[in-house]
Every structure is written in structure tokens, then in C-alpha cells.
Structure 1
């Protein structure tokens, strides 16, 4: 049952009021570029970083602007000679007009045509805005494949460049992302704003995948005190006076104080917005429990376990027991977690949810931007813009460190160094055998932490039922074990074959005995008559010959019987002159 129109209107009012509050504190994240040629356009200009693509945090890009001769909106694949290639210098920076198709479509086709950065010119006389990707499957597919920086410039600035490029002149510029992220000290503070919904399509799938991919990096950075991480979840409040409406009852907890839109846009079936709010609250309280345990990285164990076990598709998303099991598997205290969640039906505030409202809508005098795009990563109080992917987010976080204090994983050498060299992290970790599995040999990999522990040569990992764990065993030992198992199976099979054969032969013998007994019984009913009776019958037959060709007489049992045949129950007869059955 879909949501009625009146409820939709109320829903729209509900979020419009909240969006108006947030809008006043929203900051557009900007980078800059400097034009060096032509001289009449020399100067520094601002550009708004898109919420997709890959901004080059901490770096610069020198190149020349390109403006297509046709299809300047960039809504279709470009022809081979679409660019004005005069005075080409450095990287190809594609300039496109806004309108006619989504931003992601423009960026994707520009990148496919050879652009190394994409700048979109606004078609409205307004201040800079943040470009975001739509939630539909096609846009999200483009997002996954856009690997260049994307930005927007104002209409007035863009017209100057387009006029120069259309005249065949070169425009040379340096795009600069070095000052986007502040780095006040040796530790980077960052936040990830998400929503524990896993059934909203490609965007949700990407979000869940990112958290799983990011978990080992986050734990490594946090353990070595390079970063301080905080999870956050966006929430809204129900408009005053509507707390008992269908919308607020379905979308909110704590009497309309904390709300989330219905994940499937149906108030009366499926999961509700309130289910999502409760799951968010449980995750926040899990983070508090992890911090109280002095091991904050345990939160990542909780969230990855929850996302794996408590999916919407399995019907366990809103299950308290499933969330509690995830807490226990992460090694976190559940008693303080329960107290933190509190009574979601009470007409009272929840401390954890109040913190979210303050963080997402800071005071107007704050330099911190309001959060209204999900998912969002905030690094040193600046919102990250770009693709939500492990490598891209790591580069952005690394840009938040002073150059002389960057962790090893931020440097190119750190990413390609042999982690399995003697004395390196991987070598030491595997040698210590932390899992007591015997996997003491280090093997390099292409993904963080760039190594894995495996069994020494001649051994392989095998699960032991008796020990209830994985361990390294000899390949020969396994082969002998397999050989013994094969011998036992062959013996069992042969024994069964002999038994079945004997049973079959016995069955055949038994059936033969039964058939013989039946035949003897039938024959006994038709034994030959006494010799005297036979002679008398023959004399009588000769006397009556010629009178009747088929005389009838009474047999010994008194029933009418044909002289030359007795009908039996099988449709044949016993021939008295030959002493045998016909058609038996």
C-alpha cells in the first residue's frame, strides 16, 4: 500500500522545514585554479568541488582548457575531433556547459574522451553550488567509473573562458587542491556520516562496501594514534503538532524527536524510518561502548558484523537479538549499550541523538559546514568531496597531515614497500603467529595492509574439528589421510555390493520356489482319470460318433466339461489327449 497524497505533502513539509534550517549553515567546499595564459584572464578563481569524482587533495594539476566544438553540454559520447586542440599544454581540462543531462553523465563522457579534469560552467547566475550524483542506477554506475576531479565554476567566469576558447585561443591554468584540508596538528580527526540502510539500490551497496573496505585501514590508523574517528547519523525532528500523524509515528522515535524517511516510501509495510533510526542509535551506542572499553576500533568489528548478519533482505535488520549478537561478537559490553539506547517510546530526549542534531547543524557563526548529503566524510572539519572509495578517502585523509608527519601508508614508498621483508611489519606479525594457526610465512598482496600470513612451504591451512580452528598441516599428511579415507570408502562400497548381490540371488531362488509350488498346485487339479473311466468314455464316444460332434458330459465334480478340453482360469486349457497345458 503506497503512501496517500496527504501524507506525502506532510512528509514534504516535514523535511522542507528542516532543510531550511540546515541550508543556512551549509558550506560549499572549494578549491581554486590560477590562469597564467592569456594575460587578460590571469588571476585566481574559485571552483566548487563535486561530490563525486576524485579531487587531488594536497596536489596540483597543470593543463589547458578544452571546449568541444559540438555537444558542449557533454550529454553523449564525443567524436574523435570534438576538442579544440590548439595550443595544447599539460593535462586536458574539459570545460562543459551545465544542463540537458546529469552532472555524472557529462563527467563520464568527458573522461572517456581523454579529459584529466572536468569543469562544468553553471547556466544560472548564482553562487557556487555543490554538484551531487543522483541515486538512480545509471548515475551510480557512472560514479563508480569516474576517476578524475570534477568541479563547477560560476556562469560569469565560465563565459570568459568559453569565449576565448571558441576563438581558438589557449587557456592555461593550474588547478590547486593543496589548501583544501587544514592540518593543524599531527593527528587527523575525521567523521563518516552514513545511514544504516542496505536496500536503497546502488548507493547503499556502495556505502556498505566502503565501510567494509575501510575498516582495516581505519583500525590501523586509529591503533597507531594517527587519527581520531567518529561515526555520525543524520536525523530530523517531526514538526510540532504532527507527532501523532501517520508519518511521524512511522518515521520517528521518542515522540517525534528523531526521524528518518521511510526506506521504501511505504508507511504501512516493510521497514519504517523508525527502524532505521533505531539501528543508527544502536550503532552510536556501540561506538560509546567501544570507547568506554578503551579499544575504539572494536566499533568497526560491530558495524561489519551487523552489516553482514542483520540485513534487511534477511528480515533481521530491526532485530534486537541480531544487534546484540553483533555486540557480543565484537567483544563489547551489552549492559551499558542497552542503557545508552534507552526507551525509544518515551517522550524524552536521548543524549546520543541530541549530539547528532548539534553536529549536523552547527551554529551559524561556526566555520564547520552543516551536513545534508549522505554519505559524507568530514576531515579536520572540512567536508570531503569525491568518490566514496578506500583509496580516494585515504588520500584525502593523508592530505590532512603536515608533510613531515604523514604515516607510512600515505607515501608512495609505503604503498609499494615489501611488507614481508625481514624486520618489516608483515614479517614480524606473521612470525609471531597471532592466531596460533601456524601461518607464519608472510606473502605480499595488493590491498591494505599489503601482506597476509600463510602456511610455510609444504603445509596448507586446514580446519580441525577437534581444535575448532584452522591450522597448518603437512600436504603429505593430508594425502595419507585422504588415502585412508578412500580405502575405507572402497571397502564399505564393496561390502555393500556383495550384500546386495547375495540378497538378489536369494530373492531369485525364493521366487522360483514359490512359482514351482503354484504350478504343482494347478497340475494337481487336473490329474488323469482312472483307466476304467477312460476306457468307458472312449467306448461311449465311439457309439455316439457321428451323432454329436461335441457331446457334453458331467465331469467328476459334476460340472459341464468339454470332452477334449477343460477351460482353466488363465484362458487356456488342459488337453486330455496330450496331457499338457495349452497357452500356459
Structure 2
């Protein structure tokens, strides 16, 4: 039986394989530091623009910016201990506080020890110095957040290129605060940090800076391509819990984006290979498939108990094939359903992590099991698996994206996402990847962005008489563009002027204002009459189309999410309408927008027939009763009106003489009564 210590040594060997893959595959492989822009706004002599390395925890404001006043603490400048008092840092500018902290002297000590090549009992010394001189980056940011800071900048203590501040390894202490960090952070160069401290020390005027993430996420077009490097193993501690919770929470957003054609998602899985001299060892055989080509560490880090690494590799492969096969039938979003259901039903913790359980999940989602098996191939064969081979190639960074070295890793528009893997934080980063004004409606919800058009119309042009504005809300802020409103195209700069373009010419501002006022009067008059412009012209777009009655466009109810909101139903746009269908043997009910099980029972059909017949009978009876009461009411109204104009003793004669004229007169009276009630 292999001991736990041997398992740990084996996992260290696996880590060395990862490095060897990176070094052997390409000389261009590297870890990319994702950056934000930092601009000094005040004082004037310090004005400049620098880079900051985005921290891999907290919530970076992708697509946005923040202006704040820099504060450097009088004591506790490393931020390793909680600061005294409730919100001890104040800004005389009444701006958000951006706390500046030091990286710590331990970094300098490590650099010195490495430079002189010191050997001996260094770890013991470092343990002591770690407690007194420095702490985790995340701990600094957490203490800053607790003190009321809106963001934290950590100044490097050595002159070196920027590095990424990563989350600490799993520990009982870090687990208590790492997921609670909600503010952004960045590492800045030592020289930049020293210049900020010097300006603050003068005390003449404060230091105001702008943190800008608007260009940290590429946003080239109207579709976002993103990928998640994940793992089917749910026994690896806080990292596994983090990615599984994210998949479950983000599933709804991901499926809306994919079904609407707004995003393309691709899952990926990291694998390692076994060095050739060890292929026939028991360790490689238990951790790898396809003769040592594709491996994963032991889930429990103990070869003698529980599941083996090859179980994880095989399930990773299955999940890749689920996505591939589903994508062939334009159902790529089913991957989210499969992974979520598999985690719930086939968890390692419940000892249900198996092929049989996986196939039960596939059956429930109507996935073609045989096609997926064909995609997976034979794990025992001494051959290359094309699916996993591609995964190993994609793991190495190319272009603007760095190597994938940690799990989980999210990549958006070929840039690695920095920050905690949480539903709202990730959705903000995805929304920042759209070209401005092309983002889907889900990105403009109040919990994701602030509608800048609501305050002073965003500084854009508007015509209050015609209720027309050039301000258009976007995820990144707002744009001022002259609109197309009520079938009329406006032209101008969008800020100071927008004029109506008619008959190929731009009308003068004064004429436009008069026209707008006239249209407003007409519109108000129509409202009083309970009519629309189409009632006057007779031109209106039919149901399923949109326009002014002269020009009509088909409404894509599916893309605009106007229909088929129920779980398990799919929407297909048709000319002038849409078609909703339910999966399996379910029936779509239009009025309720839901899927129900079809009933094959004759008794069920009989009950349904009785219900429909009862409803129809009640409707007919109600209609007859309504006609009877309406006729009686009209007769009484007519008699009352006639009594005002004719003597009572002549009523019978008049009714006989004017009997042929009663229908016209009755209709006239009905119109008068109806008009009075509407008024």
C-alpha cells in the first residue's frame, strides 16, 4: 500500500510535469500579468499614467473606472493587522479612499537571500520573519476593506516587473476572508509607490488618482467568446467548491447569453502526462489513461483509498464530449445542465462518482450516449486521444492570453479574468467584453450598472416636448447619439443638437420645434379620444411586427426574450410569430408559458373534454344573459329619453308611428351614452 507521503511526492512530481509541458511545448509560453490603468490627477507636478497589476481576488471594475483620494496610514503601513477604529481613513476631498500599503520587507529579504545564495536552516528563519514582516496580499486588502477603503494599492518593495497578486493556498485562516473581499486591488511598481508617498508627506494638497479598467477587457464586437478551465473533481478543497458553486450559480446567465447568440462558451480541462520512464509504474497506471498520455492527481492524495486520478481524467473527457456532441445539435448550453446535475447526483463525497451515474444524467437530459462514447474513445488503448491532445495544446498561452496554470481559470475574449469566481463579478466582466451599445439586455440591469441617462439626461441633447433623447444607456456608461424615434431620424452631434432629417434635408431647429409641438398636441388629442395615429391613417403593423404602419419589421421574439421563458422549452422565430417547443414528451401551454407532461390516458382526455365543455357552456350562457341584460338596459334608456320629449298618453301612438325609425334612433342614443362614459 502506498503511503500518504508517497502520494504527496507523486503530486510534486506531477507539478514538475506541468512545468515541463510549458517549457517543452513552446518557448513563447508565459504567464501574462493583466493590468489596469492608473492616472494621477492631482497634484499637477505628479500627473502621469501608470500600470497596475490586477489582483486575482476581489472584484475588479471591468469596463469602468474609479476616482479616489490616496491615503497612506501613519502606522501599520503593511496592512497585515486590522486597523484601529471604524473607517479610520478620511479624505478631505470627500472622495472614495484608495488605501496605499507596502508589500513588506520580507520580499526584499527573499530577494537578498536568493542573490547571495544563502543555504542552511532558512525556512525556520523565514517562518519567524513572515509573522513579523509581511503577510498575504489578500490579507492586506481584506484589512483595507474592513477599514472602509474603496480600493487598495500595494507598492512593491523591490524593483522588478509587475507580478499578479494571487490568492493564498487553502488554509483555515484564508478561508475566513478570501471570499469576502469585494473591492479591487492592484500591485504597483516601487518607484510609483515612493512618488505617491512623497507627495502625501508634503501635505500641501492631497493625491487624487483614477483607477481605470475600461481597456482591461477587450470589447471588439457584439459577441463575447469565453472559456472556463475547470475540473470534475469535487474533492480538492476550496478551489473545487468555488468552481462548482460558480457553475451552479452562473448557469442561468450563461444559457441566456448562448441561446440569444450573444456569447460562445467553451469548457476546458487541464491534464498532465506521465514521463515515459514511469509509464508502467503503478502510480501512472492509476492516475493516467491512454498509456500515460493524460493524467490527473489522486483526488484524496492517497493512492490506497477512494478514487483514482484516471477516474477524474475520464469524467473530464466525458464532459468535454458532452459539450462537443450537444454543440453539433445547437444545444451547447446543455453542458451547464449536465455538469450541475452530475455534481449533485454523482458527487465523490457521496461515493456516486461513476460511469453509470453519468449515463443516468445524460439520459435525463436526452443526450445521445453512444455518440458521446464514440467521442471519448478507448481509454485503455495506447493511442492519442484527439480531444485531450487538443486540450493540452490549448493550455499553453498564445497571443494575448497567458498559460493556464491554476484551476479554475476563466478566459474572456482571450484575456484571463482576474478576481473571484462569483456570478455577478463574472457577469460584469463578460458584459465589459461587448462593443458599446451592442450588449444584451441582461447587462443593463440595475445590479450590474448605473443608468447614467437618468441623471441630467447624461449631458446629452433632448427634446422634452417630443420626449426624445440622444442619451443611450450602456454597460460602460452612456453614449450621446441622435436617435431614430417615431419613424423620424435625427442627425447631429448628440450633445448640443439633434435635428430632424426629412426628404433628404435637415429641417431648421425652429421648424423642428414647431413640428414637435404640433405632433405633441395631436398625440395628446388622440389620447383623449382613446385613439392612436394608426386609427386615423388606417395603417398599423400586424401582430408579430413592429413599425409605424407604413414600414413594418418582423419581431424576433426569441432573441428579444419576449416568449418561451419556461425551463426546458426552446424558441424558434417564425415570420410574424414564434414557435415554442418542449423537450421530451412535454406539451407547451402558451397562456401559462410552461411545459406540462402529456397525458396518454383516455380518462384524462375525458376529464379535459368535460372541463372544456363546461367552460364553453358557461361562456355561451353568460353571453346570452349579457345580451338579454344589454337589451333590457337599452330599452329602459330609450324609454327614459322618449319620455322627455313626448306626453305619456301618446307614447303608444308614437311608438307605432315611428316604429321603423327606432333602430336608427336607438343607435344614436347608444353612441351618446358611450361617449359620455368614456369622457
Cα separation, 2, equivalents of 1:170 and 1:240: 62
Q: Name which of 412, 423, 427 aligns with 1:394.
A: 427
Cα separation, 2, equivalents of 1:275 and 1:123: 45
Cα separation, 1, equivalents of 2:207 and 2:235: 46
Cα separation, 1, equivalents of 2:20 and 2:198: 37
1:106 aligns with 140
The answer to whether residue 403 in structure 2 is matched with residue 370 in structure 1 is yes
CA distances 1:515-564 after superposition (whole Å, capped 9, x unpaired): xxxxxxxxxxxxxxxxxxxxxxxxxxxxxxxxxxxxxxxxxxxxxxxxxx
Deviation at 1:194, TM superposition (A): 0.9
Structure 1 pair 186–19 and aligned structure 2 pair: CA distance change class (3 A): same
Q: Does the 8 Å CA contact 1:299/1:330 hold for their aligned counterparts?
A: no
The answer to whether residue 348 in structure 2 is matched with residue 348 in structure 1 is no
Q: Does the 8 Å CA contact 2:40/2:48 hold for their aligned counterparts?
A: yes
Q: Does the 8 Å CA contact 2:59/2:181 hold for their aligned counterparts?
A: yes
Cα separation, 1, equivalents of 2:65 and 2:244: 31
Q: Does the 8 Å CA contact 2:162/2:188 hold for their aligned counterparts?
A: yes
Cα separation, 2, equivalents of 1:281 and 1:273: 13
Q: Name which of 273, 280, 298 aligns with 1:237.
A: 273
Q: Name which of 60, 78, 82 aligns with 2:65.
A: 60
Structure 1 pair 15–173 and aligned structure 2 pair: CA distance change class (3 A): same
Q: Does the 8 Å CA contact 2:88/2:147 hold for their aligned counterparts?
A: no
The answer to whether residue 15 in structure 2 is matched with residue 15 in structure 1 is yes
Q: Name which of 95, 112, 118 aligns with 2:152.
A: 118
1:528 aligns with none
Structure 1 pair 86–408 and aligned structure 2 pair: CA distance change class (3 A): closer
Give the count of matched residue pairs. 445
Q: Does the 8 Å CA contact 1:263/1:272 hold for their aligned counterparts?
A: yes
Cα separation, 1, equivalents of 2:402 and 2:359: 34
Structure 1 pair 120–2 and aligned structure 2 pair: CA distance change class (3 A): farther
Cα separation, 2, equivalents of 1:25 and 1:255: 28
2:416 aligns with 383
Cα separation, 2, equivalents of 1:177 and 1:415: 15
Deviation at 1:414, TM superposition (A): 9.5
For 1:263-342, what aligned pairs fall within 5 Å after superposition?
A: 263-317=299-353, 319-342=354-377
Deviation at 1:97, TM superposition (A): 1.9
Structure 1 pair 19–83 and aligned structure 2 pair: CA distance change class (3 A): farther
CA distances 1:136-178 after superposition (whole Å, capped 9, x unpaired): 2442342321111121112232222233334445221100100
Answer with 1 or 2: which has the greater Rg. Answer: 1
Cα separation, 2, equivalents of 1:370 and 1:213: 26
Q: Does the 8 Å CA contact 1:37/1:171 hold for their aligned counterparts?
A: yes
Select between 132-141 and 213-222 the one with higher mean Cα deviation.
132-141
Cα separation, 2, equivalents of 1:199 and 1:91: 41
Cα separation, 2, equivalents of 1:15 and 1:415: 38
1:409 aligns with 442
Deviation at 1:85, TM superposition (A): 3.9
Question: Given the two structures, how large is their TM-score scaled by the length of structure 2?
Answer: 0.60
2:99 aligns with 94
Q: Secondary structure at the match of 2:177?
A: helix
Question: Given the two structures, how large is their TM-score scaled by the length of structure 1?
Answer: 0.70
1:196 aligns with 232
Q: Unpaired segments of 5 or more residues in structure 1?
A: 418-422, 443-452, 455-460, 474-584
Deviation at 1:52, TM superposition (A): 1.0
Q: Secondary structure at the match of 1:405?
A: coil
Q: Unpaired segments of 5 or more residues in structure 2?
A: 24-28, 105-133, 452-556, 567-578, 609-679
Q: Does the 8 Å CA contact 2:59/2:425 hold for their aligned counterparts?
A: yes
Cα separation, 2, equivalents of 1:199 and 1:466: 46
Structure 1 pair 300–184 and aligned structure 2 pair: CA distance change class (3 A): same
Cα separation, 2, equivalents of 1:414 and 1:268: 49
Q: Does the 8 Å CA contact 1:69/1:84 hold for their aligned counterparts?
A: no
1:247 aligns with 283
Cα separation, 2, equivalents of 1:437 and 1:340: 33
1:143 aligns with 178
Cα separation, 1, equivalents of 2:5 and 2:84: 46
Deviation at 1:82, TM superposition (A): 8.0
1:211 aligns with 247
Cα separation, 1, equivalents of 2:17 and 2:345: 36
Q: Secondary structure at the match of 1:231?
A: strand
Q: Does the 8 Å CA contact 2:79/2:140 hold for their aligned counterparts?
A: yes
Cα separation, 2, equivalents of 1:303 and 1:4: 30
The answer to whether residue 81 in structure 2 is matched with residue 45 in structure 1 is no
Deviation at 1:380, TM superposition (A): 0.6
1:570 aligns with none
CA distances 1:453-506 after superposition (whole Å, capped 9, x unpaired): 79xxxxxx99x9999x9xxx9xxxxxxxxxxxxxxxxxxxxxxxxxxxxxxxxx
Q: Does the 8 Å CA contact 2:71/2:89 hold for their aligned counterparts?
A: yes
Deviation at 1:39, TM superposition (A): 3.0
Cα separation, 2, equivalents of 1:118 and 1:465: 64
Deviation at 1:299, TM superposition (A): 1.6
Q: Does the 8 Å CA contact 2:359/2:369 hold for their aligned counterparts?
A: yes
Q: Secondary structure at the match of 2:250?
A: helix
Deviation at 1:373, TM superposition (A): 1.8
Cα separation, 2, equivalents of 1:465 and 1:95: 70
